[in-house]
Amino acid sequence: MSGMRRRDIITLIGGAAVWPEAARAQRSGKARIIGFLGTNTASVQEQWTAAFVERLRQLGWTEGRDVIIEYRWAEGRSEQLTKIAAEFARLKADVIVTSGTPATIAAKRTTGIPIVFALSSDPVRSGLVANLVRPGGRVTGLTNRSAGVMAERLDLLGEIVSGLQRLAIIANASNPEATQELEDVQAAARGRKLDVVAVTIRRSEDIAPAFETLKDRVQAVYVCTDSLVFINRVRINSLAQRARLPTMYGFRVYVETGGLISYGANVTDLFRRAAEYVDKILRGAKPGDLPVEPATKFDLFVNLKTAKALGLDVPRSVLVRADEVIE
């Protein structure tokens, strides 16, 4: 799989010198413990993890010396989240890093440890924080959704799928974050006068029947982000191609495995910024005093191989804006 990449070169400012707190930890032989709750797999999150560790190093924390990072991977299985959170409690972690609302809820319910979420679609509506400016409690972090991102995704689909009028939205009804996304996409679709077919799933066995119900009813499918979707991403893309349906996602990993297009927050940047929250908390800041910040960088990925299989001609107006085109 080859790709053409267009990226801004980001220069991160931060010295490598060990800060006083880290130096004291080094001298005392007691490194701080960070629980890193990965919702997917180590390989999928490798780039995000590397960005997090590098930014920590720039802020004066060296892994294995000043901090010990305990990595645990849920591999897309939501039932593992509470077990992992309980393990971090037993390890007496100083802070837990999560991504996604379900993982953050599990950590919040299971532990009394400060939590930094690297991404959450709507932390207020999910009950993770009281408000964005003063979160309160022991949870803070970054939100990966901007006010107009759902509308932008639908507009991109409309550029690729000529005369788009009928849209399917697939969401895991068991995941509050996915159902919130479903509601937001429905609202954006109404604003564009699109006819929407909402399809909910709860388990892997629901996916094939869901696509059966969509045959000849819609022109494209918007798939809400979720761990169940992640586990079944190859299957979903295969069924979508068989049904001749273009797909829209929020993250690159789904486009790598045959989805047509994704548009969403740059997760690598969010994990880099999450390290800054961790740094502040390890130096004594209270999570509830640290405002939740929005994503500021967004990425567009297009799979031309999938477009060709679907008989679609992706317009130049989309290709020139893409951060990566998979061929």
pLDDT at position 177 is 87
The helix/strand/coil state of 282 is helix
pLDDT at position 153 is 97
Three-state SS annotation for the chain = CCEEECCCCCCCCCCCCCCHHHHHHHHHCCCEEEEEEECCCCCCCHHHHHHHHHHHHHCCCCECCCEEEEEEECCCCCCHHHHHHHHHHHHCCCEEEECCHHHHHHHHHHCCCCEEEEEECCCCCCCCCCCCCCCCCCEEEEECCCCCHHHHHHHHHHHHCCCCCEEEEEEECCCHHHHHHHHHHHHHHHHCCCEEEEEEECCHHHHHHHHHHHCCCCCEEEECCCHHHHHCHHHHHHHHHHCCCCEEECCHHHHHCCCCEEEEECHHHHHHHHHHHHHHHHCCCCHHHCCCEECCCEEEEEEHHHHHHCCCCCCHHHHCCCCEEEC
Residue 268 CA neighbour count, 13 Å, CB half: 12
pLDDT at position 1 is 40
pLDDT at position 29 is 53
pLDDT at position 8 is 34
Residue-wise pLDDT for 221-245, tens only, equals 999 999 899 999 999 999 999 999 9
Entry pTM: 0.84
Domains of the chain in sequence order: 3-145+266-298 (3.40.50.2300), 149-264+300-326 (3.40.50.2300)
Amino acid in position 182: L
Quote the mean pLDDT of the chain. 90
Q: Which two tokens stand for residue 107?
A: 């950590």
CA distance 144 to 131: 15
Enumerate residue ranges in the chain where pLDDT < 50.
1-28
